[in-house]
């Protein structure tokens, strides 16, 4: 699914910073184009579905509850 976000850019020292306006995600690059490419990648990673690196161990627990 594609979604369009607004981004603002500015210079900090030798870096160009790109920040998404709608989501608290930012990145940087040596040029505005690089900073925006890096921001796009950061947004894709931000919205990527989480995946477990180690499968959790499932155990059944039986408890007696008072009536």
DSSP for 3-15? ----EEEEEETTE
pTM of the entire structure? 0.74
Residue 58 inside a domain? The answer is no
Q: How far apart are CA 22 and CA 47, in angstroms?
A: 13
Which residue, 10, 13, 38, is CA-closest to 25? 38
Residue 56 lies in a domain: no
Report yes or no on 59 lying in a domain: no
**57 assigned to some structural domain:** no
In a domain, 36, yes or no: yes
Instruction: Say how many domains are in the chain.
Output: 1
- Domain contains 23: yes
Q: For residue 17, is it within any domain?
A: yes
Tell me the per-residue pLDDT of 9-56, one tens digit each, with 9 for 90 and over.
Answer: 999 999 999 999 999 999 999 999 999 999 999 999 999 988 878 888
Domain residues for 28? 7-47
Residue 22 domain-assigned (yes or no)? yes
User: Which of 5, 59, 63, 7 shows the shortest CA–CA distance to 33?
Assistant: 7
Reported as type and span, the H/E element at residue 41 is helix 32-47
């Amino acid at each position: 699914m594609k979604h369009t976000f607004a981004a603002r850019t500015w210079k900090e020292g030798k870096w160009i910073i790109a920040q998404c306006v709608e989501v608290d995600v930012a990145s940087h690059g040596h040029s505005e184009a690089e900073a925006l490419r890096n921001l796009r990648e950061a947004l894709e990673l931000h919205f990527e579905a989480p995946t477990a690196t180690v499968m959790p161990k499932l155990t059944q627990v039986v408890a007696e509850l008072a009536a």
